[in-house]
Amino acid sequence: RSVGMDLVPALGIAIPVGKDSLSMKTAWQEENSSREVVSPLSLVVTAFSPVEDVRKTVTPQLRTDAGDTDLLLIDLGFGKNRLAGSALAQVYNCTGESAPDIDEPATLKAFFNAIQELLRRDLLLAYHDRSDGGLFVALAEMAFAGNVGVDVQLRSLPSNTNAVLFSEEAGAVLQIRSRQFADVMGIMEMAGLGDALHTVGALNQTQQLVINRREDELFLAPLHELKSLWWSTSWQMSRMRDNPQCADEEYAAIANPEDPGLRPQLTFDPNLAIAERLISATAVDARPRVAILREQGVNGHMEMAAAFSAAGFEAVDVHMSDIINGDISLSSFQGLAACGGFSYGDVMGAGGGWANTIRNNPRAFDEFSAFFSKGDGFGLGICNGCQMMSQLSDLIPGAAFWPAFRRNKSEQFEARVAMVEVFKSPSIFLKDMQGSRLPVALAHGEGRCVFNDEEKIAEANVALAYVDNAGNLAEKYPANPNGSPYGVTGLCSDDGRFTIMMPHPERVYRSVTNSWAPPQWGARGPWLRMFENARLAVG
């Protein structure tokens, strides 16, 4: 009743389907009687909404490149600071009597609209909700994300310090530019939230979280110590579930006070619109054709097609059944791209089922053999496509020393951001990018390179390798997410026409599609250059 009849109508939103939640029940025995409650013990609401401009999203990462900034608390509990059900209450094994609530739905709606206005006017640098751990946790996590210390001042907040810091009332912490405080306050007052706004702190240069009330210092701790505590539960769970060595290596990295965080380094200018000049000088119907290959279970074809299209190619969707049935021939394409995903659910080994489909079907085998050897085509294999092409290396001239790809050392599917360095190689895709260190998305369960002879890795034409945040070849987890020797994660053929890699540059060829990117990057992400290089190579 509270959610469906009071809150939702007041907010002007809808619950389109309740699934079968209200038909569920919990039953138990109590002394000599049976009891049951119709409906689950907890309510889970999954929200969805249109996003007008993904570039206007905001994260908890505190910005250090915006001059003087302030941290503001928007307290939608208006000083009540109820603690029942909070993480603090659970730590002390108590429930409490008064839990946080939305007393006035109109206030929550006004808050949402005010935040949207701040985003539209570019007044919001960072944002973190308060209702999962309280003010203390929100401030700590913002400091972790920005890798910067914070000075907190509780002067304007109620005197019960524990309640102020750990109440999980609705609200948020915002980072704004100090010079724009009046603009922010004006928007909050127009929303009726002027009394909910409190200035609670600013950044410091000490890599510490410091909490004060007026002149009294209440708390001080280095960020790396707090991060160790924050991560400790995940670490212990990971040690039991995953490879304990990898869990320990990740925990050591989290606790490292010298870790500088992600630091991209570019040896080229991504804003030079190389492909755009080629496209403008070429008729649309004269674009080189590239086959965007997929197999049952492969799901990365849309991003791959978008990246090649942005670089001036005509991207053509080609399913393996099209080749097997003779409906499409690879001879009509300048290039091919084998996409990532889970071919055959990976039940035959990563990329193995896909490779065997080619080997065991005469028409497909002849098509791929002819394409690989014709001398003027090119190919790119990403993730599952990388694994497939590596298992066909005997068909690809100059790929004899490519490795196989086996189960990650962590024993887990790794979906994260990693840093890679581009090495000097003949790859047509990575021309003039050598020396660059770039963040890239990855998602694979079997990406560990296994070479027949590690002494001949140099002959395998290594093009990409994982590096840590200091720029060193990554041997430890998670900077090296799969345990590959020397961090190897991308290779090419001797003539550079065929390149394979485990990461997903096609997912991040636009700056905005990176989960994190330096603010100074323009709309064109650096990984677009890889696809532009292929366009230049074919003329």
The secondary structure of residue 159, as a DSSP letter, is S
**Would you call 458 exposed, middle or buried from its count of C-beta atoms within 10 A (0-12, 13-18, 19+)?**
exposed
Please tell me the distance from the alpha carbon of residue 46 to that of residue 59, in angstroms, as a whole number.
20
Please state the separation of Cα 142 from the chain's center in Å. 17
What are the residues facing 59 on neighbouring strands?
none
Q: With beta carbons less than 8 A apart as the criterion, state whether 158 and 164 touch.
A: yes
Phi then psi dihedrals of residue 507, to 5 deg: -80, -15
Catalytic residue from among 383, 386, 449, 492:
383
Spatial CA neighbour of 144 closest among 215, 81, 224: 224
Helical ranges in 384-484 per DSSP H: 384-390
Q: Which two tokens stand for residue 430?
A: 């990575």
| 467, β-bridge pairs | 473
**Residue 504 among the catalytic residues:** yes
Is the separation of the CB atoms in 343 and 298 below 8 Å? yes
What does DSSP say about strands 448-450 and 33-38: parallel, antiparallel, or unpaired? unpaired
For 359, half-sphere exposure in the C-beta direction (CA atoms, 13 angstrom radius) is 14
**CA dist., res. 165 & res. 308, Å (int):** 50
Query: In 3D, which of 251, 343, 340 has the Cα closest to residue 300?
Result: 340
- Give me the residues paired with residue 220 across strands: 210
* 506 among known catalytic residues: yes
- CB count within 10 Å of CB 313 equals 25
Interhelix angle 135-146/223-241, nearest 10 degrees: 90
Which one from 198, 301, 444, 504 is the annotated catalytic residue?
A: 504
Annotated catalytic sites, by residue? 383, 504, 506
